[in-house]
């Protein structure tokens, strides 16, 4: 670690996902005398790449080689297992150590459908479901009901496709991925056979990217069946957008598909809006979903017909988008689920909040692919660089002071070396299963692998 001195700037990036790590890299690349701490509440870095990118999207995860660059060699400090804010280390206390804070904590709240029955057991947001199969410590005990042949996945974005694909793959296919052992066991005993993807609009309106849609067609052990009320056969105007045209061509081709002897089926059901989740039994768990049939009128608007049908499902996953969690002390726009900002500067009532910045999904909403965060982070870092000379110096800028304050607060951070121990343990577990890695998902086990101590968060000895 190079020598740090108090005449340098210090910036904390909260969130070690792609947006935070692109911001750290941009701060480093500026050549300015800036020390950067990347803080994450989890003991592992990479955020959505680790906990959102589908396990079978192995190539997509190779972006990690780029994202880890600021830590190797160690130009940037990683402080993992350090929750900031409510219940953790106070944001105000962090501000005593840094000139600026870049918030890069993403959008972790599942949006709701707002229909009756949505809170039944077995009705889940995609955030929770995806986090479960990706081995996120918050969701290890989710135990999604996979004991029924039917599942509904609501939404026409890439997350809906990820969820459908994972459910339609065989356990042997998933064994080659990094899913934790208990997730693989659950998938191995899964009774799921029919995955119904419910799309409220038409095939010309889906938000899938063609490469992701193609993967549904390429599933080795599942048929893809299109249910579009004859819309495509009747002819749909070619959309202007190239990707939408590619989607439409693929979907049109698939209308000719018939069920084979494949063990599973992915049903793409267009013009269907969920209106109620049905429940049964004393525990009140999902037993079906009522959908309203829609039609496209002469003006191209999608309208409900009032006609409903019931699908026999035991699990509903809504993949209809996310919102950010509000950050105490910062303004929040509940309508967009983001922190109001101007090019990354947090703005309250039209005025920038000194030293507070956002990047990634918390800044622009849950859109774009991983690479989108690079340009986004560069814009925010540009604002940070412009402001740094005018920001007040922090009271306690030395790196040792932040460490000491965390220790006083009972927090023992997982630094980069400690993370590499956890990383090595995951690679070791992967070797036992013939996979590149197998995730360690329980917080206590993560900390034990990283720090040699199962104690959470992690209090310092004595």
Residues found near ligand NAP in the complex (CB under 6 A): 113, 154-160, 162, 200-201, 205, 207, 209, 212, 273, 319-321, 366-369
Which of residues 78 and 208 has its CB atom nearest to ligand NAP in the complex?
208
Sheet containing strand 272-280, strands side by side:
272-280, 285-296, 302-311
| 420 CB burial (10 A radius; 0-12, 13-18, 19+) | middle
Angle between helices 126-133 and 158-168 (to 10 degrees): 50
Shortest spacing between CB 455 and ligand NAP, in angstroms: 34
CA distances from 462 to 402, 412, 459 (A): 19, 12, 9
Closest to ligand NAP by CB, 317 or 358: 317
Q: How far apart are CB 78 and ligand NAP at their closest, in Å? A: 25
Is the preceding omega at residue 18 within 30 degrees of 0, hence cis?
no
**Closest approach of Cβ 276 to ligand NAP, in Å?**
13
Q: Which is nearer to ligand NAP, 212 or 448 (CB)?
A: 212
Complex with ligand NAP: residue 190 or 373, whichever CB lies closer:
373
Task: Extract the tokens encoding 363.
Answer: 């800044």
Cβ–Cβ < 8 Å for 437, 106: no
Residue 272 beta carbon to ligand NAP: minimum distance, rounded to whole angstroms: 9
3-class state of residue 97 by DSSP: coil
Smallest gap from residue 213 Cβ to ligand NAP (A): 10
CB-nearer residue toward ligand NAP: 170 or 209: 209
Q: Which is nearer to ligand NAP, 251 or 388 (CB)?
A: 251
CB of 214 to ligand NAP, least distance (A): 11
**Nearest CA-CA partner of 331 in 358, 310, 313:** 358
Question: Among 405, 406, 410, which residue's Cα sits nearest to residue 453?
Answer: 410
Tokens, residue 267? 């049903």
Pick 337 or 394: Cβ nearer ligand NAP: 337
CB of 113 to ligand NAP, least distance (A): 5
Which residue lies nearer to ligand NAP by CB, 280 or 367?
367
Q: Tell me whether residue 205 or residue 269 sits nearer to ligand NAP (CB atom).
A: 205
Q: Which residue in the shown chain puts its C-beta closest to ligand NAP?
A: 157
Cβ within 8 Å of residue 64, ≥6 positions away: 46, 49
Q: Nearest distance from residue 366's CB to ligand NAP, in Å?
A: 5
Question: Are 236 and 192 contacting, i.e. CB atoms less than 8 angstroms apart?
Answer: no
Rounded to whole angstroms, the Cα distance separating 318 from 293 reads 18
Of the pair 201, 293, the CB lying nearest ligand NAP is at 201
- Identify which of residues 159 and 313 has a Cβ nearer to ligand NAP in the complex: 159
CA–CA separation, 26 and 387 (whole Å): 15
> What is the closest distance, in whole angstroms, from the C-beta atom of residue 205 to ligand NAP in the complex?
6
Minimum distance, C-beta of residue 40 to ligand NAP, in the bound complex (Å): 20
**Residues in contact with 86: Cβ distance below 8 Å, sequence separation at least 6, in sequence order:** 328
CA dihedral for 300, 302, 308, 312, sign (positive or negative): positive
> CB 196 → ligand NAP: shortest distance, Å?
13
C-alpha to C-alpha distance for 245 and 21, rounded to whole angstroms: 34
Instruction: Identify the three-state secondary structure at position 137.
Output: helix
For residues 189 and 389, give the distance between their C-alpha atoms in angstroms, rounded to a whole number. 59
Strand 123-125: give its sheet, edge to edge: 123-125, 315-318, 150-154, 194-198, 264-269, 222-227
Each residue of 72-98: b (16+ CB within 10 Å) or e? eeebbbbbbbbebbeebbbbebbbebb
């Amino acid at each position: 670690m190079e020598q740090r001195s108090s005449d340098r700037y210090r910036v904390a990036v909260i969130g070690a996902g792609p947006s935070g790590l692109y911001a750290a890299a941009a701060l480093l690349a500026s050549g300015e005398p800036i020390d950067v701490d990347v803080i994450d509440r989890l003991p592992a870095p990479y955020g959505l790449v680790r906990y959102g990118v589908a396990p079978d999207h192995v190539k997509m995860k190779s972006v990690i080689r780029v994202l880890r660059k600021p830590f190797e060699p160690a130009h940037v400090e990683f402080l993992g297992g350090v929750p900031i804010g409510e219940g953790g280390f106070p944001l105000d206390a962090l501000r005593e150590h840094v000139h600026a804070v870049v918030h890069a904590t993403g959008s972790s709240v599942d949006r709701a459908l707002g229909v009756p029955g949505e809170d039944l057991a077995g009705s889940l947001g995609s955030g929770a479901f995806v986090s479960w199969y990706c081995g996120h410590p918050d969701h290890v005990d989710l135990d999604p009901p996979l004991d029924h042949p039917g599942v509904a996945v609501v939404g026409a974005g890439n997350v809906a496709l990820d969820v459908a694909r994972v459910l339609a793959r065989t356990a042997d296919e998933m064994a080659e991925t990094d899913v934790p052992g208990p997730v693989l066991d659950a998938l191995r005993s899964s009774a799921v056979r029919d995955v119904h993807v419910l799309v409220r609009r038409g095939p010309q309106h889906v938000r899938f990217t063609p490469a992701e849609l193609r993967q549904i067609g390429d599933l080795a052990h599942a048929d893809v069946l299109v249910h579009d009320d004859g819309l495509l056969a009747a002819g749909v105007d070619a959309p202007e957008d190239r990707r939408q045209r590619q989607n439409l061509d693929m979907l049109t081709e698939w209308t000719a598909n018939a069920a084979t002897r494949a063990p599973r089926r992915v049903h793409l059901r267009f013009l269907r809006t969920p209106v109620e989740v049905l429940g049964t039994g004393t525990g009140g768990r999902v037993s079906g979903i009522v959908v309203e049939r829609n039609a496209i009128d002469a003006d191209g608007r999608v309208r409900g017909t009032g006609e409903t049908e019931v699908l026999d499902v035991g699990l509903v996953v809504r993949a209809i988008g996310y919102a950010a969690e509000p950050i105490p002390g910062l303004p929040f726009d509940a309508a967009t689920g983001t922190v109001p900002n101007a090019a990354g500067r947090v703005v309250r009532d039209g005025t920038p909040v000194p030293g507070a910045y956002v990047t990634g999904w918390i800044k622009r909403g849950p859109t774009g692919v991983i690479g989108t965060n690079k340009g986004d982070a560069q814009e925010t870092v540009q604002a940070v660089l412009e402001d740094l000379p005018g920001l007040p110096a922090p009271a306690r800028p030395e790196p040792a002071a932040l460490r000491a304050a965390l220790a006083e607060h009972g927090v023992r951070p997982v630094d980069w070396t400690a993370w590499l121990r956890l990383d090595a343990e995951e690679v070791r577990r992967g070797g036992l299963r013939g996979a590149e890695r197998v995730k360690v998902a329980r917080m206590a086990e993560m900390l034990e692998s990283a720090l040699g101590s199962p104690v959470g968060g992690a209090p310092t000895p004595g």
